[in-house]
Structure 1
Amino acid sequence: MTTRNAPLTGGWRPSPLMVRILSAFVILAMVIGLVLVGIYGVYALVLLLGGLALYEFNALSDKMGSRAPAWLLFPLGVFFAFSGTALKQVDVTLVLALALVGGLGAFLFLPGQRQGLSRWAMGLAGALYIGMPFNFYLLLYTSKPNGLVWTLFTIFAVVASDASALLVGSRIGRHPFFATISPRKTVEGAIAGVVGAVIVMVIGVSMVLGINPLHAIALG
């Protein structure tokens, strides 16, 4: 009687947590590289990350029942992202007026007229939600002095917050935090995220830039 060893279907495989952490480091390296290139590298980074965020929001809005129109969401989101820098000469009031009149008017001729108002509102909300934070990052980067340092430590704080929340929440998280919005979020993870961001800002803003530590804690 002979026996056969079961074939090895695979060796070591990284856990989803490790994959996410490694991916974060790769993305962080790419972000830092483009930031150090200069303003055009930062513009390219904003277009890349902003486009991905708008695409994800578009899919999310579809699941919520009011899909944001891509022809409104993407151009308006890009405009808001660059409204304080590359497109600062363009009047924001004019763009909002065109988005209001043109956006709502377009639904008179497009399918799904009954959902026109909700879809328009979702598109405008998504453009503001995604575009304006990128606008603030660009304004921070171009500020004088130390705009680059401020931007890098802000990015580090965001990464540290996300990584800390993920590690602590997945290991010792027991108490749900806004379970109706995100079932996997925990109070322990949220606290760890805040602590991680504060530590980075204290090190960066307080020690490197010489800002009052209390101000650094508040920024974190």
Structure 2
Amino acid sequence: MSDKMRNLMVRTLSGAVLLAVVLGAAYGGRYSYGVLLGVILFVGMLEFYRLATATGSSPQHVPGLVAGVTLFLTGFFHFVGYGSEAGPDWALIIGGIVYFVLLIPAIFIIELFKNSKTPLRNIATTLMGIWYVASPLTLMLLIPLMLGGGEWQAEAFLFYLFIVWANDVCAYLVGVTMGKHRMCERISPKKSWEGFFGGVVGALGMGALGSAVVGGSVAMWLGLAAIVAVTGVLGDLVESMFKREADIKDSGNILPGHGGMLDRFDAVLISSPFAFVYLLIYLM
């Protein structure tokens, strides 16, 4: 068996396992969905700090992870009580105080006791891990509820991912067959404008299907798909930029054939804040 065929088999098997895990978590309900996002967050932050370390920074792994997990848990406790009169509002208040008043300032204070020549860089990369990975995944707790009218629907989350993946697949297929005009050669030489627009078309098609399956207006889903398609590509480019500086091919190896969590969910990390704001405005 050739190496190319072996790599394809590994990638296919790994992708099938990932899809099964995602489907199981989505249909398992809010708690299993939260656990899935929590795992992605934890591994993703470790991968980001690995990238930062490879560039010469010395991020604070443990304080950064504690702050990121605290932010996520604050959102999660609100998430599981969403729409309930007895919702854990105190969890939001206490979690917010712990995060903003204690954990974030602690990162600055801890750097005082490190014998490092790059304190500014260390603090910056520590905070970046929280904002780049933990914040978007915390918002992903709420986006499916916004799409599902305040109720948990597994399909709402799944179609968000399907839009991202349709964008990736269509961009790749169109780019390989028709791509001539390079999009951002300095960061990602293989990306083309033809592939970009092909991805947008694929995302819009999946968005229209999401409207039919999940519910909600076609206009809302098409707007979401357009935003996710554009910002998802930017998310891919952002992660590629990080990896180029770190001189690393993949952010990790937890997903054989696919790389790391950041490699697989980079589009979600950048697209989810834009999607959240869009839905917030649209549903007002």
Q: TM-score, normalised to structure 1's length?
A: 0.80
The yes-or-no answer on 1:108 pairing with 2:99 is no
Q: Give distance in 2, aligned partners of 1:149 and 1:196.
A: 18
Structure with the higher helix share, 1 or 2: 2
Q: How many residues align?
A: 209
In 2, are the aligned partners of 1:178 and 1:185 still within 8 Å (CA)?
Answer: yes
Question: What corresponds to 2:213 in structure 1?
Answer: 208
SS at match of 1:80: helix
SS at match of 2:94: coil
In 2, are the aligned partners of 1:82 and 1:88 still within 8 Å (CA)?
Answer: no
AA at the equivalent of 1:151 = F
In 1, are the aligned partners of 2:49 and 2:125 still within 8 Å (CA)?
Answer: no
The yes-or-no answer on 1:161 pairing with 2:171 is no
Q: Give distance in 2, aligned partners of 1:123 and 1:184.
A: 31
| Cα deviation code 1:18-62 (max 9, x no counterpart) | 754553343122101111112221122112211221122112212
Gaps of 5+ in 2: 78-90, 226-284
In 2, are the aligned partners of 1:80 and 1:128 still within 8 Å (CA)?
Answer: no
Matches within 5 A, 1:20-169: 20=11, 23-86=14-77, 88-112=92-116, 114-142=117-145, 144-145=150-151, 147-169=153-175
Could you say what the CA RMSD is over the residues aligned between the two structures, in angstroms? 2.6
In 2, are the aligned partners of 1:76 and 1:124 still within 8 Å (CA)?
Answer: no
**Higher RCO (Cα < 8 Å, 6 or more apart):** 2
1:38–1:12 distance in 2 versus 1, CA, 3 Å: same
Shift of 1:91: 3.6
What is the identity percentage for the equivalent residue pairs of Structure 1 and Structure 2? Answer: 29
In 2, are the aligned partners of 1:142 and 1:148 still within 8 Å (CA)?
Answer: no
1:181–1:139 distance in 2 versus 1, CA, 3 Å: same
Q: Give distance in 2, aligned partners of 1:25 and 1:196.
A: 21
Q: Give distance in 1, aligned partners of 2:194 and 2:143.
A: 31
Question: What corresponds to 2:276 in structure 1?
Answer: none
1:159–1:82 distance in 2 versus 1, CA, 3 Å: farther
Deviates more, 1:32-41 or 1:139-148: 139-148
AA at the equivalent of 1:14 = M
Question: What corresponds to 1:4 in structure 2?
Answer: none
1:50–1:157 distance in 2 versus 1, CA, 3 Å: same
Shift of 1:171: 3.9
Q: Give distance in 1, aligned partners of 2:129 and 2:3.
A: 41
SS at match of 2:53: helix
Q: Give distance in 1, aligned partners of 2:189 and 2:67.
A: 31
Q: TM-score, normalised to structure 2's length?
A: 0.64
SS at match of 1:183: strand
1:167–1:20 distance in 2 versus 1, CA, 3 Å: farther
Deviates more, 1:54-63 or 1:12-21: 12-21
